[in-house]
Amino acid sequence: MIAEAPRLASVESEAAHKVHARLEGVTRVYPPRAGHGEVHALGPISFDLRAGEFFSVVGPSGCGKSTLLDVLAGLAVPSAGTVEFEGKPVRGEVPDGVGVVFQEDASFPWLTVEDNVAFGLRRAGVDAAESKRRVDFAIGFMGLRDFSRAYPSQLSGGMRQRVCIARTLVLQPRLILLDEPFGALDQQTRLLMGDELLRLWRETSATVLLITHALDEANLLSDRIGVMSARPGRFLDIVETGWPRDRDSRLAERADFGAVTSRLWSYLRGESLRALGQGMAAR
């Protein structure tokens, strides 16, 4: 999939949108435990992820964004509702073709960059020559060529996150889920990583779902942005940005860029205040 020519279509009719993953009435409720009662963390949420789109989810902290990703990835089982990926139900197991990148550093400190990137290929049953080709490509693509024999401890946080992205890339995922992958990085690095993410998205033609708390980042990167309410998280609205497929961080210079961010914030201001209140009450 990585080697495939980039998709040329940037303008598609509404009817042409193929559903890649579908959530229907998904909720997630945590059973009562010592100290607190039942926690309704998420939903009900229903939405379709379109094939090849860049979709971001923004929402106040604690609204269940990460839970949504876990459910979609098959890392968590929904309490009610169904999740489908490519027409097949997802339940408690990560489907083939889904790659996930987390906010925390998930590189293996005992493996070199090269071995980190190749980690999943042994399991995937890819032959040695093909493995090497894919690893070389992913390392080159993420700009890690000079560090392929280095260990993660020798790299910066941004570089380690690239290692994790490259590790996902070699498996040629058709759906890439990113849980605040740049959350721990400084602002400049975030912008650059965002550009790289856009390039990756264009060149692999994978579907991307990004969880983020940065409204500018969501605006810049996405075709559509799902705005979530305070807990239990539901979509208040799904905002279509209408940005061209061939875009990068210079998009922020456009006159209409700010309008989208403002719109996101107008939704989120009240919800963030509510979430803040929930946090205070829980304490």
Partner 1 sequence: MSKAGWIRTLLLVGAVGALELACRTGAIAPTMVTAPSKMVTTLVETLRSDEIGMHLRHTLSAVAIAMSIAIVGGFVIGFILNWVPFLRRAFSPFLAAYYAIPHFAFYPLLIVIFGLGPVPLIVLATLFAMVAMILATMAGLDRVPRVLLKTARIHRLSLIEEIWRVRLPAAAPHILSGLKLAVAYSFIGVIAGEFILSTSGIGHEIAFAYDNFDNPRMYALILFVLGIVTLFNMAVFAWERRMLRRRGA
Residues at the site binding partner 1, with contacts judged by CB under 8 A: 73, 75, 93-94, 96, 98-100, 102, 104-106, 108-110, 119-120, 123, 151-154, 171
Q: How far apart are CA 267 and CA 275, in angstroms?
A: 13
Q: How far apart are CA 157 and CA 215, in angstroms?
A: 22
Q: Which is nearer to partner 1, 6 or 109 (CB)?
A: 109
β-bridge partners, 210: 56, 178
Q: Which is nearer to partner 1, 71 or 260 (CB)?
A: 71
Q: Which is nearer to partner 1, 75 or 276 (CB)?
A: 75
Shortest distance, CB of residue 109 to partner 1, whole angstroms?
5
Amino acid at site 46: S
Shortest distance, CB of residue 123 to partner 1, whole angstroms?
6
Shortest distance, CB of residue 157 to partner 1, whole angstroms?
13
Shortest distance, CB of residue 207 to partner 1, whole angstroms?
16
Q: Which is nearer to partner 1, 104 or 256 (CB)?
A: 104
Shortest distance, CB of residue 61 to partner 1, whole angstroms?
19
Q: Which is nearer to partner 1, 152 or 194 (CB)?
A: 152
Shortest distance, CB of residue 110 to partner 1, whole angstroms?
5
DSSP string, the chain: -TTSPPP------GGGPPEEEEEEEEEEEEPPBTTB--EEEEEEEEEEEETT-EEEEE--TTSSHHHHHHHHHTSS--SEEEEEETTEE--SSPPTTEEEE-SS----TTS-HHHHHTTTHHHHT--HHHHHHHHHHHHHHTT-GGGTTS-GGGS-HHHHHHHHHHHHHTT--SEEEEESTTTTS-HHHHHHHHHHHHHHHHHH--EEEEE-S-HHHHHHH-SEEEEEPSSSB-EEEEEE----SS--GGGGGSTTHHHHHHHHHHHHHHHHHHHHHHHHHH-
Q: Which is nearer to partner 1, 51 or 100 (CB)?
A: 100
Tokens matching residue 188: 């400049």
Shortest distance, CB of residue 118 to partner 1, whole angstroms?
11
Q: Which is nearer to partner 1, 53 or 179 (CB)?
A: 179
